[in-house]
């Protein structure tokens, strides 16, 4: 007789698969909703898409041809179905300004944003987590107050204003860092024409090429905007770390560890940290997503050729397909990051799997 | 005064109003001990006063240009925060800008929570597929990055103060819906709701008269904390030229006009930013303190 009832491992796997399946279904519905909202926004624009393509002096026949090509005479639900179908195949339409496919344009701009947001999150995490732990271990102390106030200031500061002040002080007055842009013009030429592009992220590409002077120049350009975004995410991360850590340190297993005579650093960084880490992953993923969004204003200040600049430039050129395409991409990244952090959460924390 | 205090702290209140005011008084006593929250309250009160009496406080007209006095540095007699590129007094413009800021956050505070409350309580009260549909809608809006959605909406609606408010409110309601739904679920099956229903009250009456009041305190905390974010988004839209239009003295717009001469005349961009920062910090401090006091989960031990 063989035992046909599923083993505990199998059962856990099935449960995980069901959870991932439900998650993917929710993701699909959410993405559909995202597309519906951008579709509706795109339909009510007062700008006539036909007119903006053919120009004012087109004949009636030319206009009708473009109208047919865009499918504007079809019923709305059919237009939406086509829009969703195209989006699923990675086609978000063509930019009115350039006539190029929006997806390939965004693919060109996206690495710059990714590079900036990643470095920002890295800085925010490396500073925010220790600051939050410090505040949690000495509640009410001067250190706690300072961390809280610095955090609140980060919440309250308009990021574009802080960027201008940063440029004024560190670039204009002190001359410690390079100004707007990703590279000095001469290095930019070098990057474009003599070095191989692997990822589109200059820090990684220049390092892979061994072009360390380009790398240094890129660091000097990115450090100010990344530090700025890092500060904003640090405000959030340190605050959440503090509250998670406070919660953990009140638990009995911590008292037990202390009574056993375990050194305090080990109690905090090994025992408590393992449990703090789980919710912290979600927080960091969330702040990463917010930095992708926060880049809209930062990139404007620092002339950073990323997704944020792409969207605002398109906005001022009344290039609605490009604006909405960019919005969809940011939304998708946002939703996916949330999804991934949720799945990682379940994988890391056995309690969440039950 | 002492009689009033005794009335407020009476352990056996004789009317519902007395009990409620007594609770408020105790909450106020707790907030008063929190110095950061009091600082926040002071900042918000000053904002309201400055906005109310702007024409009396401001030393100059915020719109009148005087090209012979352009780009004067801070500390100039008569123009203590300096002048901008049209010779307009920056201090006066910041003071009048307080009105615009208050107008924007006032309108958002009146619209977004109402919409959120409506959707959240309806979803929570009826449950079932109504709940499923409304909450999915909420999640979809939550999934959208706020500033970018506001940008896209303003791009469609056209720039301007009312459209900026509309765009911000349309992106700000989902958290309120979440909060209101959670509160509704906890009271939906209470005896007092059943009693009202037995008396023959319809759904609309139960929701508006008996469920919404239960959600208000959590929503008020959320509104206060949210206002800081609203100020920043409104300023961001203004900065991009998509919110309030010139020559109105909106703070974000003023920063953007000062950007051109950031390195030579730093004060033009810096001063309005300070105003945004201080007001937004005020709301954050106040909201933080309110949460500590009103939210039982974070009550001090």
The pLDDT tens digits of the residues spanning B261-284 come to 888 888 888 999 999 999 999 999
Query: Are the beta carbons of A312 and B151 separated by less than 8 Å?
Result: yes
Query: Are the beta carbons of B239 and A297 separated by less than 8 Å?
Result: yes
B contacts of A155 (beta carbons < 8 Å): 228, 280, 284
Separation CA B277–CA A330 (nearest Å): 27
What average pLDDT does this structure show over A228-242? 91
Q: Is B280 an interface residue toward A (CB < 8 Å)?
A: yes
Nearest to B175 by CA among B215, B213, B210: B215
Residue % of chain A over a pLDDT of 70: 93
Q: What is the CA radius of gyration of chain A?
A: 25
What tokens appear for A213 in the block?
A: 């002077």
DSSP labels for A138-190? STTSHHHHHHHHHHHHHHHS-HHHHHHHHIIIIIIIS--S--SSSS-HHHHHH
B contacts of A250 (beta carbons < 8 Å): none
Q: Is B148 an interface residue toward A (CB < 8 Å)?
A: yes
What average pLDDT does this structure show over B155-177? 87
A34, A152, A296 member nearest B140 (Cβ): A34
What tokens appear for A153 in the block?
A: 């200031």
Separation CA A280–CA A48 (nearest Å): 47
Report the complex ipTM.
0.83
What average pLDDT does this structure show over B126-138? 88
B-chain residue closest to A334, CA distance? B143
Residue % of chain A over a pLDDT of 90: 12
A292 min Cα distance to partner chain B (Å) = 9
Query: Are the beta carbons of B262 and A311 separated by less than 8 Å?
Result: no
pLDDT for A334 equals 82
Name A156's Cβ contacts closer than 8 Å, sequence gap at least 6: B228, B232, B277, B280, B281, B283, B284
Whether pLDDT at A264 is above 70? yes
Whether pLDDT at A28 is above 80? yes
Query: Are the beta carbons of B276 and A161 separated by less than 8 Å?
Result: yes
Chain A contact probe: residue of B139, B153, B155 with most A CBs at under 10 A: B155
What average pLDDT does this structure show over A209-238? 88
Ordered by start, the domain boundaries in chain B are 43-53+78-298
CA angle B53, B59, B60 (to 5 degrees): 105
Averaged pLDDT of chain B: 86
The pLDDT tens digits of the residues spanning B11-33 come to 788 888 888 888 888 888 888 88
CA angle B289, B231, A151 (to 5 degrees): 50
pTM confidence score: 0.85
User: Which residue has 């106020």 as its token pair?
Assistant: B28
Which tops the pLDDT comparison, B174 or A66? B174
pLDDT for B300 equals 42
The pLDDT tens digits of the residues spanning B49-105 come to 999 998 888 888 888 888 887 888 887 787 888 888 888 888 899 999 999 999 999
Separation CA B287–CA A117 (nearest Å): 28
Separation CA A352–CA B24 (nearest Å): 39
Separation CA A267–CA A332 (nearest Å): 39
Whether pLDDT at A46 is above 70? no
B90 min Cα distance to partner chain A (Å) = 16
Give the C-alpha distances (Å, rounded to integers) separating A76 from A70, A195, B218.
Answer: 12, 48, 40
The pLDDT tens digits of the residues spanning B229-251 come to 899 999 998 898 888 888 889 99
A324 min Cα distance to partner chain B (Å) = 7
> Domain B43-53+78-298 has what CATH class?
mainly alpha
pLDDT for B296 equals 55
Query: Are the beta carbons of B140 and A161 separated by less than 8 Å?
Result: no
Query: Are the beta carbons of B273 and A165 separated by less than 8 Å?
Result: yes
Q: Is A151 an interface residue toward B (CB < 8 Å)?
A: no
Give the C-alpha distances (Å, rounded to integers) separating B80 from A50, B52, B58, B73, B93.
Answer: 53, 21, 11, 8, 12
The helices-and-strands tally (H runs, E runs) of chain A is 16, 0
Which tops the pLDDT comparison, A88 or B294? A88
A1 min Cα distance to partner chain B (Å) = 46
Confidence of residue A345 (pLDDT cuts 50, 70, 90): confident
The pLDDT tens digits of the residues spanning A158-184 come to 888 999 999 989 988 888 888 788 888
B contacts of A46 (beta carbons < 8 Å): 156, 158
Whether pLDDT at A128 is above 90? yes
pLDDT for B115 equals 93
Lowest mean pLDDT among A110-114, A302-306, A345-349: A345-349
Q: Is A40 an interface residue toward B (CB < 8 Å)?
A: no
Q: Are A245 and A136 in contact (CB under 8 A)?
A: yes
């Amino acid at each position: 007789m063989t035992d046909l009832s599923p083993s505990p491992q199998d059962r856990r796997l099935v449960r995980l698969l069901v959870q991932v399946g439900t998650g993917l279904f929710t993701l699909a519905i959410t993405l559909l909703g995202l597309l519906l909202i951008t579709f509706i926004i795109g339909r009510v624009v007062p700008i006539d898409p036909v007119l903006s393509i053919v120009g004012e002096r087109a004949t009636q026949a030319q206009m009708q041809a473009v109208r047919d090509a865009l499918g504007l005479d079809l019923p709305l639900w059919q237009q939406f179905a086509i829009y969703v179908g195209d989006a699923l195949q990675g086609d978000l339409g063509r930019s009115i300004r350039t006539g190029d496919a929006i997806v390939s344009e965004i693919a060109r701009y996206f690495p710059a944003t990714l590079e900036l947001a990643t470095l920002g999150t890295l800085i925010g995490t490396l500073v925010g987590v220790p600051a939050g732990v410090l505040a949690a271990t000495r509640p009410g102390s001067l250190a706690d107050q300072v961390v809280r106030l610095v955090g609140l200031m980060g919440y309250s500061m308009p990021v574009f204003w802080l960027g201008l002040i940063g440029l004024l002080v560190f670039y204009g007055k002190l001359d410690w860092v390079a100004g707007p842009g990703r590279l000095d013009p001469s290095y930019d030429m070098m990057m474009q024409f003599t070095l191989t592009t692997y990822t589109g992220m200059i820090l990684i590409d220049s390092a892979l090429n061994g072009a360390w002077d380009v790398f240094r120049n890129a660091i000097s350009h990115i450090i100010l905007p990344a530090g700025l975004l890092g500060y904003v995410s640090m405000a959030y991360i340190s605050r959440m770390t503090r509250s998670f850590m406070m919660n953990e340190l009140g638990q009995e297993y911590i008292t037990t560890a202390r009574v056993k005579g375990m050194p305090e650093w080990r109690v905090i960084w090994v025992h408590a940290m393992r449990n703090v880490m789980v919710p912290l992953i979600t927080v960091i993923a969330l702040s990463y997503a917010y930095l992708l969004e926060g880049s809209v204003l930062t990139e404007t200040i620092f002339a950073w050729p990323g997704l944020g600049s792409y969207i605002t430039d398109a906005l001022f050129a009344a290039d609605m397909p490009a604006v909405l395409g960019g919005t969809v991409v940011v939304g998708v990244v946002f939703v996916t990051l949330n999804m991934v952090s949720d799945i990682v959460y379940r994988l890391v924390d056995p309690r969440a799997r039950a | 005064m002492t009689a009033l205090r005794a009335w407020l702290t009476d352990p056996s209140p004789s009317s519902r109003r007395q009990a409620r005011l007594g609770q408020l008084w105790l909450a106020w006593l707790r907030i008063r001990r929190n110095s950061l929250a009091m600082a926040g309250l002071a900042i918000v009160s000053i904002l309201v006063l400055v906005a109310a009496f702007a024409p009396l406080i401001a030393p100059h007209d915020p719109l009148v240009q005087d090209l012979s006095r352009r780009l004067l540095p801070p500390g100039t007699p008569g123009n203590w925060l300096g002048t901008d590129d049209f010779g307009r007094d920056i201090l006066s413009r910041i003071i009048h800008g307080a009105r615009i800021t208050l107008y924007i956050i006032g309108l958002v505070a009146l619209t977004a929570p109402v919409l959120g409350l409506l959707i959240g309580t309806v979803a929570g009260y009826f449950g079932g597929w109504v709940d499923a549909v409304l909450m999915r809608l909420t999640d979809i809006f939550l999934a959208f990055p706020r500033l970018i959605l506001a940008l896209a909406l303003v791009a469609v609606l056209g720039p301007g103060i009312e459209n900026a408010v509309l765009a911000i409110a349309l992106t700000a309601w989902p958290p309120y819906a979440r909060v209101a739904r959670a509160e509704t679920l906890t009271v939906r099956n209470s005896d007092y709701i059943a009693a009202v229903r037995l008396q023959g009250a319809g759904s609309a009456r139960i929701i508006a008269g008996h469920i919404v009041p239960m959600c208000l305190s959590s929503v008020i905390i959320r509104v206060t904390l949210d206002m800081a974010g609203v100020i920043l988004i409104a300023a961001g839209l203004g900065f991009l030229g998509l919110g309030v239009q010139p020559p109105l003295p909106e703070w974000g717009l003023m920063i953007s006009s000062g950007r051109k001469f950031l390195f030579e005349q730093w004060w033009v961009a810096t001063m309005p930013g300070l105003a945004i920062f201080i007001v937004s910090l005020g709301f954050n401090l106040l909201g933080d303190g309110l949460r500590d006091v009103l939210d039982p989960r974070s009550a001090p031990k």
